[in-house]
Chain A
């Protein structure tokens, strides 16, 4: 669990997702006409960074693929290859493939080399015969050169031409106590130095006190190292990079074999030892002095002071203003804010009951508190929100793949990518949206020949739009195809027995037939859609998210599917109703309409049930109190309040309640964990008075309903 490598690996893959997103963005920008170098560079860098990271984790397949992709991108970057439409399409494919490889590597899946092969072949064809193996040097992390730029020290460095033999470096290394405290070990540093060249190390123990006055927490040893290496000073400094600031370090090149540091008088060494025990001198450091070796007065302390600010490696790119937070933590925060909202409502209620005057300090304070609570709730909900961009990018891929499968030219236009929706909603929207996009490409758009015949551009257009509208998120999938062929839809519905022939239906009613289970208009089952799961599945997954889906279509112009979703899954718009003395919440999105029953509308139907005549449609009557076991069915339902509940098979049900109390947002509390599943109940919530109210699961309730709306008669022995 706490394997540090696994954590680094995990964060690498998270970064990969971001890089892939940048890659897609860049490619899209190029596709839309951007030809500037920076865009190409962004794309190149994304692929390159993935390759670099993958190399560090030994993900060879990923490295190999990224390398070949990168090689071609480099050609584009160098203007040796023009990024035309076809090439960009290939790049998109490569991007998708790279994404697959990243995810396969992340999940530890084996990647089928055959899948990448055609893409790779095309890449190679562009490059002619190329060496496919990525060179190791490029894959490895580039060591960051630390420029020390110490004035004075360089002045004594002989010009490069002077010394044909590798220069000899003299290093003085005096660790401070804090170096050991931070868990560093000089031995490892020396080993690293040894790798640079021939080395000779002398330990200086002259500052070491006698055993009885030895303080074990202090540092008394210093080392003098003579190193013969052709590597530069930067390489030597790099070895000490991790102990920067924790030691006193002098690196000097020996001129003509003479050890310059030996010119230091004993006083300087003593000062160095002093500094070693107290790494930051308390005395104000003099301004940047020029530590000339010919000036013996220069102490090591001054050298440290001058060196310290410069030895720091150049700052990496400025950190982005984002934090990665565990989703659980956010959920806990969301829960807590939910508590505040409930608590605040309870407080308001008790203040009202206390009969305080409206302008009293308590009341005005409470008003402000109310406002703040709302703000906090909104902000917290926004933490969970994410732009739909990632989802849209996945859809772009679906369009590319499915249009290639059916041989249509399709362009996907996206709008409102930055619209933010709850993360869970985004995750659960992927499947239905994929299906809708495929439908649009496969069924919505005509064949290229038909399009040209109809005077439309050969390239079909699918538009994916996201926007906020009155506290909900609306996502639209529109195509500019032929629109719904209503005669055909009707004929199929009749043929499949979904509707009776000659049933008068409006256009929109015919359109909604598409959502019936088992409906599929494709005459031949294609690879893409029409596997028996149709729009009915899409609709039920949207409804499970508390959303609604609608359809509009215009003959010859196209079809638009519109999904309306709640911003979050943590709160729900509900209607508060009372039945048999209990308070219940009915999700608003399931209620089609509410009405009061008149005696004429209720018709008996069989021994135990009633139906309601609503504008000449007969819908079953259900008594909520009886269905939940709170009471026996009533004698008479005339005058009762009825909620018309939408059903998945589009046959609504009329549910009788005693009274409608309120319409409000409620915070959803799961029942499953504490108690278990209750039939007909989705969850619970806490009302302003602190009481728990159950949230109805209308679909489940109707599905499990007995339908009994007549009081039991002892003589009637009919089972329900």
Chain B
């Protein structure tokens, strides 16, 4: 298990970890439910100049400026299909809040700690670095995301 995975496990200090699972490009991903602030429908984002392609822009979340990241692009998958059925999961990481744009939210899962397994060693690619652990539910492989790795580096010019 990676460090972040252990940390999630340690935080809970129980045998189960609660995850919010969702679909991105047809694959099952999940994040620790404690980091989820809210889930909301898609909104038209104002694009930011000179931003990486996975940054969709910013939206107005009740008066605060919320950056939106297209998770499928971030994970290196094509997202040419402009779906207005997109869902935004608002997550808090440290003192930053960002919206993750996903295809659909699936479920809330409680996963026993000992059913988590580290991701297999794969030839280096984007996705590998973002997944801290894997688990199997009803034959579906759920990937647990490392939110810190997904965010664009803060306080740097995102060029």
Residues in chain A within 8 A of chain B (CB atoms): 335, 338-339, 342-343, 582-583, 627-630, 669-681, 684, 686, 690-694
8 Å CB contacts to A: which residues of B53-99?
55, 57-60, 62-67, 96-98
Cα distance, A261 to B63, chains bound together (Å): 72
Instruction: Identify 6 new A-B residue pairs, CB closer than 8 A, beyond the known A674-B98, A675-B48, A676-B153.
Output: A338-B63, A628-B50, A630-B49, A674-B97, A678-B49, A679-B157
Contact A692 B154 (CB under 8 A): no
Cβ of B47 < 8 Å from any Cβ of A? Answer: yes
Contact A678 B65 (CB under 8 A): no
Contact A692 B59 (CB under 8 A): yes
One of A338, A671, A692 near B60 (C-beta < 8 A): A692
B49 to chain A, nearest CB (A): 4
A674 contacts across to B, CB distance below 8 A: 58, 64-67, 96-98
Q: Which residue of A lies closest to B47 (CB)?
A: A582
Residues in chain B within 8 A of chain A (CB atoms): 44, 46-51, 55, 57-60, 62-67, 96-98, 152-159
Q: Which residue of B lies closest to A342 (CB)?
A: B63
By DSSP majority rule, is chain B's interface helix, strand, loop, or mixed?
loop
Q: Which residue of B lies closest to A685 (CB)?
A: B65
Sorted from nearest, which 4 A-B pairs have the closest CB atoms?
A628-B49, A339-B63, A692-B46, A675-B67
One of B65, B96, B98, B155 near A684 (C-beta < 8 A): B65
B69 to chain A, nearest CB (A): 10
A4 to chain B, nearest CB (A): 30
A672 contacts across to B, CB distance below 8 A: 155
One of A343, A582, A680, A692 near B65 (C-beta < 8 A): A692
With A629-B49, A675-B48, A694-B48: A669-B64 Cβ-Cβ less than 8 Å:
yes
A693 contacts across to B, CB distance below 8 A: 46
With A684-B65, A692-B59: A678-B46 Cβ-Cβ less than 8 Å:
no
B97 contacts across to A, CB distance below 8 A: 674
A-B contact pairs, 30 of them (CB 8 A): A335-B63, A339-B62, A342-B63, A582-B47, A627-B49, A629-B49, A669-B63, A670-B65, A672-B155, A673-B96, A674-B58, A674-B64, A674-B65, A674-B66, A675-B48, A675-B65, A675-B158, A676-B152, A676-B154, A676-B156, A676-B158, A678-B157, A678-B158, A679-B49, A680-B50, A681-B49, A691-B44, A692-B46, A692-B59, A693-B46
A679 contacts across to B, CB distance below 8 A: 49-50, 157, 159
Cα distance, A339 to B62, chains bound together (Å): 8
Contact B66 A694 (CB under 8 A): no
B156 contacts across to A, CB distance below 8 A: 676-677
Q: Which residue of A lies closest to B68 (CB)?
A: A675
B63 to chain A, nearest CB (A): 4
A335 contacts across to B, CB distance below 8 A: 63
Cα distance, A690 to B66, chains bound together (Å): 13
Residue with the greatest number of chain B CB neighbours at <10 A, chosen from A629, A675, A691: A675
With A671-B58, A686-B60: A677-B65 Cβ-Cβ less than 8 Å:
no
Q: Which residue of A lies closest to B95 (CB)?
A: A673
Contact B50 A676 (CB under 8 A): no
Cα distance, A681 to B66, chains bound together (Å): 16
Contact A680 B49 (CB under 8 A): yes
A161 to chain B, nearest CB (A): 76
A447 to chain B, nearest CB (A): 51
B155 contacts across to A, CB distance below 8 A: 672, 676-677
Contact A678 B51 (CB under 8 A): yes
A582 to chain B, nearest CB (A): 7
Cα distance, A630 to B48, chains bound together (Å): 9
With A674-B96, A675-B58, A686-B60: A681-B65 Cβ-Cβ less than 8 Å:
no
Q: Which residue of B lies closest to A628 (CB)?
A: B49
One of B47, B64, B157 near A630 (C-beta < 8 A): B47
Cα distance, A672 to B58, chains bound together (Å): 12
A570 to chain B, nearest CB (A): 13
A411 to chain B, nearest CB (A): 49
A277 to chain B, nearest CB (A): 52
Contact A686 B158 (CB under 8 A): no
Contact B46 A694 (CB under 8 A): yes
B92 to chain A, nearest CB (A): 11
Contact A691 B65 (CB under 8 A): no
Q: Which residue of B lies closest to A692 (CB)?
A: B46
B158 to chain A, nearest CB (A): 6
Residue with the greatest number of chain B CB neighbours at <10 A, chosen from A338, A339, A583, A694: A694
A261 to chain B, nearest CB (A): 67
Q: Which residue of B lies closest to A670 (CB)?
A: B65
A342 contacts across to B, CB distance below 8 A: 63
Q: Which residue of B lies closest to A338 (CB)?
A: B63
B44 contacts across to A, CB distance below 8 A: 691
B67 contacts across to A, CB distance below 8 A: 674-675
Q: Which residue of B lies closest to A681 (CB)?
A: B49
B65 contacts across to A, CB distance below 8 A: 669-671, 674-675, 684, 692
B96 contacts across to A, CB distance below 8 A: 673-674
A628 contacts across to B, CB distance below 8 A: 49-50
Contact A678 B50 (CB under 8 A): yes
A671 contacts across to B, CB distance below 8 A: 58, 65
Residue with the greatest number of chain B CB neighbours at <10 A, chosen from A335, A628, A676, A677: A676
A629 contacts across to B, CB distance below 8 A: 49-50
With A342-B63, A691-B44: A676-B157 Cβ-Cβ less than 8 Å:
yes
Cα distance, A343 to B64, chains bound together (Å): 12
A691 contacts across to B, CB distance below 8 A: 44, 46, 60
B99 to chain A, nearest CB (A): 10
With A674-B64, A674-B96, A679-B50: A684-B58 Cβ-Cβ less than 8 Å:
yes
B150 to chain A, nearest CB (A): 14
B49 contacts across to A, CB distance below 8 A: 627-630, 678-681, 694
B50 contacts across to A, CB distance below 8 A: 628-629, 678-680
A190 to chain B, nearest CB (A): 53
A206 to chain B, nearest CB (A): 60
Residue with the greatest number of chain A CB neighbours at <10 A, chosen from B47, B48, B154: B48
B62 to chain A, nearest CB (A): 7
Contact A582 B98 (CB under 8 A): no
Cα distance, A16 to B148, chains bound together (Å): 47
B51 contacts across to A, CB distance below 8 A: 678
Q: Which residue of A lies closest to B55 (CB)?
A: A675
Cα distance, A339 to B44, chains bound together (Å): 19
Cα distance, A226 to B153, chains bound together (Å): 76
Cα distance, A669 to B46, chains bound together (Å): 14
B54 to chain A, nearest CB (A): 13
A583 contacts across to B, CB distance below 8 A: 46
Q: Which residue of A lies closest to B153 (CB)?
A: A676
B157 contacts across to A, CB distance below 8 A: 676-679
A631 to chain B, nearest CB (A): 11
